[in-house]
Amino acid sequence: WNDLEPMKYRKDFYKKFLEKSQTSTSGFGVTRNSKTDSQVMRNFIVQDKNDAFLVRAQNLGTQQDWTVIGEFCIPPDVMWRSFLYEWTPQMVKFYANALQNTLPDPKNLERWGLTAEQKCPLCDISPCNAKHILVGCKKALDEGRFTYR
């Protein structure tokens, strides 16, 4: 199995350097083996799977944007608390579509074949995407449509 060689290497590296590293104010050499080999290997496997999913997602064309901006928009603990207790299903749907760049903006409507032009309905700038509509339209800003920020 070729897949096991990198795992064994990572396990050996962990045992030699990370497992016995000093993390408290105890004296030199006072360490406890807190994780078993199976726990360490399980963590490595989960980390590898998550990395593989992230690499696959980043290779997608349109849907990969959430991998770049999703984590930095809202801290994860605040996001999950909001998802569970405050957001309506419509808000969750809008947020997910905004992160995946699948909102029905003029650029996407033209890509999907539902309209022939990509102009902003307010300022007639072309091409017009969701980012322009939500935060970049000069006319909407001048009219005070973004005052809730």
What digits encode the pLDDT tens for the residues 36-58?
667 777 888 888 887 777 677 66
Query: Does some domain include residue 134?
Result: yes
Has residue 84 got a pLDDT over 80? no
The residues, ordered by sequence, that sit 6+ positions from 97 with a Cβ below 8 Å of its Cβ are 103
**pLDDT at res. 149:** 44
User: Could you list the residue range(s) of the whole structural domain that residue 58 is in?
Assistant: 1-10+44-101
Instruction: Check whether residue 87 and residue 137 sit in a common domain.
Output: no
User: Does 27 reside within a domain?
Assistant: no
Q: What is the tens place of the pLDDT at every residue in 22-35? A: 566 665 555 555 56
How many independent structural domains does the chain possess? 2
Residues 111 and 139 in one domain: yes
Query: Rounded to an integer, what distance in angstroms lies between the CA atom of residue 87 and that of residue 95?
Result: 10
- End-to-end, the C-alpha distance of the chain in Å comes to 55
Residues 80 and 108 in one domain: no
CA distance 70 to 58: 12
Question: What value does the mean pLDDT take over residues 78-101?
Answer: 77
Which H or E element spans position 128?
none
Task: Note whether 130 and 110 are same-domain residues.
Answer: yes
**Prediction pTM value:** 0.44
Domain assignment present for residue 51? The answer is yes
